[in-house]
Structure 1
Amino acid sequence: AMIAVTGEDPANLIICQLAKWKCNVPRVIARVNDPKNEIVFKALGIDETISSTRVLMSVIEQELPSSGFIPLMPLTGSHLELIEAEIGPDTPSAGKSVRSLGLPRGTAVGGIVRKGSVLHADDDEVLEVGDRLVILAPTKDESEVRKALSG
């Protein structure tokens, strides 16, 4: 196999075509910078394409908050941050009380937004699907808060 990975789509296409048609390389793979060119590369006999744009988008998507857990902002002059977390249909926290979540020490649920209304988040409040929790937590404990909410 031969892989062409220059930063220029035309160069990668020519390199792969030369390898395939002149040097009889059985499998050629090209990096494609412009996703619109993927169809052209396939039509011209390139066996596989790797879209750097698609790879980058995949990495960005993986880094985006998932499961409704969004670190909102660090609080200036402290080691605390404000976090918003949504209780989704697949979230094990649904049906549990705030007390039973097992949040790390020093973490507080400041409020619950339920169906457009703000509720006081007392320890006995049972969480429902669709609830959005506003949480104040030590920055170092963000992953533990995420783990406590996701079960």
Structure 2
Amino acid sequence: MRVVLVGAGSVGRSIARELLLNDHQVLLIDKYARESRVQSIPEATWLLADACEVTTLHEAQLEAADVVVCATGDDKVNLVVSLLAKTEFGVPRTVARVNNPKNEWMFDDGWGVDVAVSTPRLMTALVEEAVSVGDLVRLFEFQQGKATMVELTLPAHAPFVGSRVDEVHLPADCVLVGIIRDQLPIAPSPHDTLHALDELLFLATPSAERELAATLTGRRPEEISTVHSDPQA
């Protein structure tokens, strides 16, 4: 896979190293990259230029990229490059870093962003996921909000503790995709038994989230607290 990565700061370089380890072809674009940064990742191709310039993107042959990752520390740059990648070069997939959570609302398909990753939101979600028992935590948002990944830690008093997975009648548009127990992931089968404090991972639609949590905990939907810590994916 050919990946064009805009921004060679600590985040961009870390992403580049991981992609190279997985045998992907990486081109890094950074206007201010020093020689030491270039030498730190010699396996990548480098273009020292302004990614907001269309001429730079032509030089990078963006039309031949499978994915463009915008990982700079400037939200304006990440949005502009994502938009150009989609509208001018027809890149199949764009991933953009969100630095300021207040700007998240702009990181959607209107600006050419397929996947928005907000580090502050992600860290908040992981903290809240660790401490919220019985509450629904939204971890990720897919396809501009049409589907979500949510987590619920099953309380000890929940009605389905001790039940098999196939005995739990989930609402429509909800799929159990994973169980984390004793810090180990489990691929759920119909005959697996649910335990107290299991971390249950679901794919769901936003409209079904509250009913899902009510089903699992035995509480009324209006009593359910949903933590919307949702970096988009």
The structure whose RCO (Cα within 8 Å, separation 6+) is larger is 1
Task: Please say which structure displays the higher CA radius of gyration.
Answer: 1
Distance 1:66 1:94 in 2: 14
Contact 2:172–2:208 at 8 Å: present in 1 too?
no
Partner of 2:158: 91
Q: Secondary structure, in 3 states, of the residue corresponding to 2:148?
A: strand
Structure 1: 5+ residue stretches without partners: 1-64
Aligned residues: 88
- Which of 56, 72, 75 matches 2:142? 75
- Which of 172, 187, 198 matches 1:120? 187
Contact 1:74–1:139 at 8 Å: present in 2 too?
no
**Which amino acid in the other structure matches residue 100 of structure 1?**
E
Q: Secondary structure, in 3 states, of the residue corresponding to 1:149?
A: helix
Distance 2:210 2:181 in 1: 24
Distance 1:123 1:68 in 2: 24
Partner of 2:104: none
Q: Secondary structure, in 3 states, of the residue corresponding to 1:145?
A: helix
Q: Could you report, residue by residue, the CA deviation over 1:57-81 in whole angstroms, capped at 9, with x for unpaired residues?
A: xxxxxxxx66242122221345111
Task: State the 1:100 CA deviation.
Answer: 1.8
Q: TM-score, normalised on structure 1?
A: 0.52
Distance 2:160 2:136 in 1: 13
Contact 2:138–2:150 at 8 Å: present in 1 too?
yes
Q: TM-score, normalised on structure 2?
A: 0.35
- The answer on 1:103 being equivalent to 2:136 is no
Q: Could you report, residue by residue, the CA deviation over 1:24-72 in whole angstroms, capped at 9, with x for unpaired residues?
A: xxxxxxxxxxxxxxxxxxxxxxxxxxxxxxxxxxxxxxxxx66242122
**Which amino acid in the other structure matches residue 183 of structure 2?**
G
Q: Secondary structure, in 3 states, of the residue corresponding to 2:143?
A: coil
Q: How does 1:15-94 map to 2 (within 5 A)?
A: 67-77=134-144, 79-94=146-161
Contact 1:68–1:88 at 8 Å: present in 2 too?
no
- Which of 140, 143, 149 matches 2:210? 143
Q: Which runs of 4+ in 1 moved over 6 A?
A: none
Percent sequence identity is: 22
Q: Secondary structure, in 3 states, of the residue corresponding to 2:208?
A: helix
Structure 2: 5+ residue stretches without partners: 1-131, 219-233
